[in-house]
C-alpha cells in the first residue's frame, strides 16, 4: 500500500468505531469486507484475527462509555456470553479451513439473512419500563432460545471475525425483549467478551505473528470512534438505530456476495 495507508487505516478505524458503536455493533461486519478489499492476498484466518482484535478494542471503548450512562444489562449479557464465548473460540479455530471465495460467500449470505430479518421485524417487544434485571426469569422458553441462539452466533462470529453484535442485538430485542437502547449497549458488552475469546484462539494458532502495525492503527481509530458513536446514540430513536443497522448490513452483504459470484 502507498505511504498514506496509515491515514486510511486510521480513518477506517474511526468510521468502524463510531458507526459500529452507534448501532450497538463491534464493527466487524463492516471491517472484514474492507480488510478483504485492502489485503486481497491475506488468508481469512489472518484477517479475522485482526478484525476480532479491533472489535475487542471497539467493544471495550463502547462498553465503557455505555457503562458510565448505566445502559448495560450485565446480568443478561453475562448469562448469554457464557454460551457465546466458547462458541466464538470454537469458530475462530475453524477459520483457517476456509478459502477466500467460500469465506466471502458465507459471510455475505449470513449478513443478508440478518438484514432481511431486521427489515421484516425491526423491533422486539422491549419495554423500557419493565424490570430488565428479572428478564432471565420471565420465561424459561425465551431464555433457552436466547442462550442457544447466542451459542450459534458466537460460533459463526468466530468463523467470520465479526464479533456478532448485530445478531446478538436481534436476540436481545426479540427473545429477551429488552428495549433497543438497552439491548445495543448490552450487545457491546457481550461482543467484548466473545471477541476476547476469539482473539485468544487466534493467538494460540499464531495468526498474530505477521503484521501488528495495521492492528495498532485501526485500534487507535476505533477507540476514539467508539466514544463518538456512544455519544450520538442517545440522539437517535430506536427505529432509526435499527434501520441504520439493517441498511448497513444489507449493503455489505450484497457487496460480498457479488464479489464471490
Grid cell 448490552 in the structure block, residue: 186
CB 154 within 8 A of CB 87: yes
Q: Is 71 exposed, middle or buried (0-12, 13-18, 19+ CB in 10 A)?
A: buried
Cell 463502547, residue? 62
- CA dihedral (130, 135, 139, 141) positive or negative: positive
State the distance between the two ends of the chain, measured CA to CA, in whole angstroms: 26
How far apart CA 9 and CA 11 sit, in angstroms, is 5
What pLDDT sits at residue 150? 92
Judge whether 76 and 184 are in contact, CB under 8 Å.
no
The pLDDT of residue 148: 92
Query: Which residues, in sequence order, are CB contacts of 65 under 8 Å at separation 6+?
Result: 21, 226, 227, 230, 231
Q: How many domains does the chain have?
A: 1
* Grid coordinates given for 13: 478505524
pLDDT at 210: 60
Q: Which residue has the cell 448469562?
A: 79
Q: What is the pLDDT of residue 211?
A: 65
Q: CA 134 to CA 140: how far, in whole Å?
A: 12
Amino acid 167: pLDDT: 77
Each of the 261 residues of the chain gets a pLDDT tens digit; together they read 445 688 899 999 998 888 877 766 667 877 888 888 888 888 888 888 888 899 899 889 889 988 998 989 998 899 999 999 999 999 888 887 878 788 888 888 877 887 887 777 665 544 444 444 455 545 677 788 889 999 988 898 888 887 777 778 888 888 888 888 888 889 889 989 999 999 899 888 887 756 688 889 999 999 898 888 888 877 777 677 677 777 877 887 887 788 777
Per DSSP, the three-state class of 59 is: helix
pLDDT for position 25: 64
* Domain span at 64: 5-260
pLDDT given for residue 26 in this prediction: 67
Alpha-carbon distance of 59 to 22, in angstroms, equals 11
DSSP character at residue 42: S
What separation in angstroms does the CA of 150 have from each of 8, 36, 66, 85, 90? 34, 26, 21, 9, 13
Amino acid at each position: 500500500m502507498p505511504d498514506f495507508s496509515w491515514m486510511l487505516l486510521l480513518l477506517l478505524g474511526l468510521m468502524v468505531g463510531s458507526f459500529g458503536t452507534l448501532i450497538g455493533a463491534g464493527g466487524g461486519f463492516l471491517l472484514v469486507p474492507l480488510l478483504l478489499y485492502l489485503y486481497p492476498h491475506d488468508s481469512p484466518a489472518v484477517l479475522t484475527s485482526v478484525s476480532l482484535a479491533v472489535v475487542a478494542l471497539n467493544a471495550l471503548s463502547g462498553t465503557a462509555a455505555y457503562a458510565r450512562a448505566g445502559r448495560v444489562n450485565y446480568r443478561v449479557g453475562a448469562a448469554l456470553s457464557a454460551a457465546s464465548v466458547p462458541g466464538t473460540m470454537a469458530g475462530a479455530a475453524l477459520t483457517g479451513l476456509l478459502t477466500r471465495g467460500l469465506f466471502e460467500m458465507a459471510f455475505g449470505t449470513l449478513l443478508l439473512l440478518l438484514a432481511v430479518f431486521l427489515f421484516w421485524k425491526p423491533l422486539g417487544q422491549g419495554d423500557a419500563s419493565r424490570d430488565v434485571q428479572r428478564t432471565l426469569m420471565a420465561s424459561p422458553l425465551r431464555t433457552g432460545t436466547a442462550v442457544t441462539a447466542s451459542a450459534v452466533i458466537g460460533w459463526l462470529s468466530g468463523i467470520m471475525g465479526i464479533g456478532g453484535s448485530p445478531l446478538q442485538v436481534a436476540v436481545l430485542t426479540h427473545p429477551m425483549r429488552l428495549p433497543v437502547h438497552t439491548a445495543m449497549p448490552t450487545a457491546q458488552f457481550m461482543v467484548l467478551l466473545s471477541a476476547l475469546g476469539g482473539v485468544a484462539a487466534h493467538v494460540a494458532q499464531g495468526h498474530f505473528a505477521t503484521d501488528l502495525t495495521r492492528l495498532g492503527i485501526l485500534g487507535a481509530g476505533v477507540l476514539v470512534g467508539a466514544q463518538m458513536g456512544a455519544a450520538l446514540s442517545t440522539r437517535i430513536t430506536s427505529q432509526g438505530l435499527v434501520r441504520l443497522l439493517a441498511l448497513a448490513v444489507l449493503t455489505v452483504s450484497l457487496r460480498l456476495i457479488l464479489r464471490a459470484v
